[in-house]
Each structure stands twice: as structure tokens, then as C-alpha cells.
């Protein structure tokens, strides 16, 4: 895996209006287990606003390296906003203000010296709806690599990325066909292949199976388990069964009358689903609300 150091941010590449920089605590919330695996990403007292609307409130969480962490919670609780905060994609919307910090391998990705474009290379993202480019399978894979200055064997990269996404055997006979000609599940795996082609360290997945049938969903879930051998994966999902099947750790978020986008509980998935420490977590995972 190639690691490229962060470079100084270019003013024109960020649309964020203001970032509040305040001292932050690195102490874990009381509900977080003290003994956690080595984290690849650390979120410390992170809050985010869209204009005057606060979407995430004072979230602190450590995402273990080369593990799958599921983020669950009802609609509107800030799950996807938190996910996009980990690679600064919220700033593409504009009118965003943040407080606290997000550390990737110990570097604060919101620091003035950090280029958000480089953050998005090192922290790849797969969206809810498959979004392949309207070009060939091969060009879909190579697009990001070329933008990032890849100069080695392109055929080797295409095959490695497609094999990494468990798609090579299905498409290698015609890499010139459009990515849009593939089935929904194949398109999502193509998007995963495109993401890993630029050698990220973290993969964010925002409900990657919600638009897929059960068979395609199973393939994506099996793929996630394989990818976790090489990548730190953070997935947002509304599917409790999926979270229980694929994740090593689970975070439960909630919005209520006191604050929006709060982290209620975080821990090993088995513990959270079988013995949650907060009654609100138990109520959600048993279907009493949400």
C-alpha cells in the first residue's frame, strides 16, 4: 500500500466557510471500552453544522485498524454526515462549519496544512447508489489513478483492482464495455474497485447495499470481509442484520430533543447487539423505534 504524505491545502479546493479550532480532549466517552484495537481513524469531540443547523454533536470515537465498524441509527441521526466528515466531503456542499478534529494515522485532516483532495484519496468512499462513470470498465478503474499520477503498468492495476473487488472473473473478457452496462451489484463492485485502485487506507461505505437485491448484497458483504484484511472499513447501514453479520464493531447514533447526531454507544458488535449498555440502543435494535 502506497502512502503519500499530506500536502498544504489549496484555498480554491475547499468551500468550507469556517472551521472552529478549539482544544479537544482525547478521552474516550464513558460507554467506549477502554481496551480498543489500534485505531486508524480517531474522531475527537467532533461537531458539524450546515449553516445554523447542527447535524453532529460532540462525537468521539476510535475506528480500529483493518476492522469493519458499522454506524447505525434512525434516519436523520447524523450517520452519513459523520461518515463524510472523515474524508471532508461535507465541504463540497458548502456552508459547513466544524469543531473538534479527525485524525488519520495521527494527522488532523482538518488542519490548515492538509489538502482535502489528498484526504479523499487516502479515505475512499462508496455511495448508496452505484455511480460508475459513463465510460469503459477499464477507464473507470484508471480514472482516479491517472489523476493521481499513476505511471506503472495500467493493465496490472486494472486486474488487481477488479480482483480485489471480486469482479475480474465476471468482466475480464470485455473491459471495453461500459460500466453502465453491468448489473447493479456489479456496478457497486466496480465502484469499490475504482476506490481501491488509488491505494486508500480507509474505505467509507454509505449504505452500499440498500439498492441491491439479496444475492448482490451477499456478494458485497463477503467482499467487505475480504477487504477488511487490507483496509479499515466504516459502513453506515439501516440494516441491523447486515451490521450484525459483517461488522466487528458497531456505533449507535441518535438525535433527540437535547442534541442532534450524538454517539450513544460504541463497542464490539456482539456486545452491543446482545448486551447493550444504554436502553435506547436496546430499543432501537429490537425495533421499538427508528
CATH number of the domain within which 73 lies: 3.40.50.300
Give me the pLDDT at residue 2, please.
38
Name the band, by pLDDT with cuts 50, 70 and 90, for residue 14.
Answer: very low
Q: Is residue 135 part of a domain?
A: no
Specify if 204 maps to a domain: yes
pLDDT digits (tens, 9 = 90+) for 150-195: 788 999 999 999 999 999 999 999 999 999 999 999 999 999 999 9
> Does residue 278 lie in a domain region?
yes
Above 70 in pLDDT, residue 21? no
Number of structural domains (the chain) is: 1
- The pLDDT of residue 257 is 85
Answer yes or no: is 28 within a domain: no
Residue 177 lies in a domain: no
pLDDT value, residue 149: 79
Q: What is residue 34's predicted lDDT score, i.e. its pLDDT? A: 46
Query: Nearest-CA neighbor of 251 among 225, 278, 226, 228?
Result: 278
Q: What pLDDT sits at residue 36?
A: 62
Question: Residue 203 above 90 pLDDT?
Answer: yes
Mean model confidence pLDDT for the chain: 88
Give domain status of residue 246, yes or no.
Answer: yes
The cell for 269 is 458488535
pLDDT in tens, 51-83: 999 999 999 999 999 999 999 999 999 999 999
Residue 240 lies in a domain: yes
Give the residue numbers spanning the domain of 70: 14-23+36-129+200-285
Q: Helix and strand tally (H, E) in the chain?
A: 10, 11
Q: Using an 8 Å Cβ cutoff, are 211 and 130 in contact? A: yes
d(CA 126, CA 66): 17
DSSP string, 211-229: TS-HHHHHHHHHHHHHHTT
Find the helix or strand (DSSP H, E) in which 161 lies.
Answer: helix 154-164
- Whether pLDDT at 27 is above 70: no
**pLDDT at position 290, please?**
67
pLDDT over threshold 50, residue 217? yes
| Inside any domain, residue 229 | yes
Amino acid at each position: 500500500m502506497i502512502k503519500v504524505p499530506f500536502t498544504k491545502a489549496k484555498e480554491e479546493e475547499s468551500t468550507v466557510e469556517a472551521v472552529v479550532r478549539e482544544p479537544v480532549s482525547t478521552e474516550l466517552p464513558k460507554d467506549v471500552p477502554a481496551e480498543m484495537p489500534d485505531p486508524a481513524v480517531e474522531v475527537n469531540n467532533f461537531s458539524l453544522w450546515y449553516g445554523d443547523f447542527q447535524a453532529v454533536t460532540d462525537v468521539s470515537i476510535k475506528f480500529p485498524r483493518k476492522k469493519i465498524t458499522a454506524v447505525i441509527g434512525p434516519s436523520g441521526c447524523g450517520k452519513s454526515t459523520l461518515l463524510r466528515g472523515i474524508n471532508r466531503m461535507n465541504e463540497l456542499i458548502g456552508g459547513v462549519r466544524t469543531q473538534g478534529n479527525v485524525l488519520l494515522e495521527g494527522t488532523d485532516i482538518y488542519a490548515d496544512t492538509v489538502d482535502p483532495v489528498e484526504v479523499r484519496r487516502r479515505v475512499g468512499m462508496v455511495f448508496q447508489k452505484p455511480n460508475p462513470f459513463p465510460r469503459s470498465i477499464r477507464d473507470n478503474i484508471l480514472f482516479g489513478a491517472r489523476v493521481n499520477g499513476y505511471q506503472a503498468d495500467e493493465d496490472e492495476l486494472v486486474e488487481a483492482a477488479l480482483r480485489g473487488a471480486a469482479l475480474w472473473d465476471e468482466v475480464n473478457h470485455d473491459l471495453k464495455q461500459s460500466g453502465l452496462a453491468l448489473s447493479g451489484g456489479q456496478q457497486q463492485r466496480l465502484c469499490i474497485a475504482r476506490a481501491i485502485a488509488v491505494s486508500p487506507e480507509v474505505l467509507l461505505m454509505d449504505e452500499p447495499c440498500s439498492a441491491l437485491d439479496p444475492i448482490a448484497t451477499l456478494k458485497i458483504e463477503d467482499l467487505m470481509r475480504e477487504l477488511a484484511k487490507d483496509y479499515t472499513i466504516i459502513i453506515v447501514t439501516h440494516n441491523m442484520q447486515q451490521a450484525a453479520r459483517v461488522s466487528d464493531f458497531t456505533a449507535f447514533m441518535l438525535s433527540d430533543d437535547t442534541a442532534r447526531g450524538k454517539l450513544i454507544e460504541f463497542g464490539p458488535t456482539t456486545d452491543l447487539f446482545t448486551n447493550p449498555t444504554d436502553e435506547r440502543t436496546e430499543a432501537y435494535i429490537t425495533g421499538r423505534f427508528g
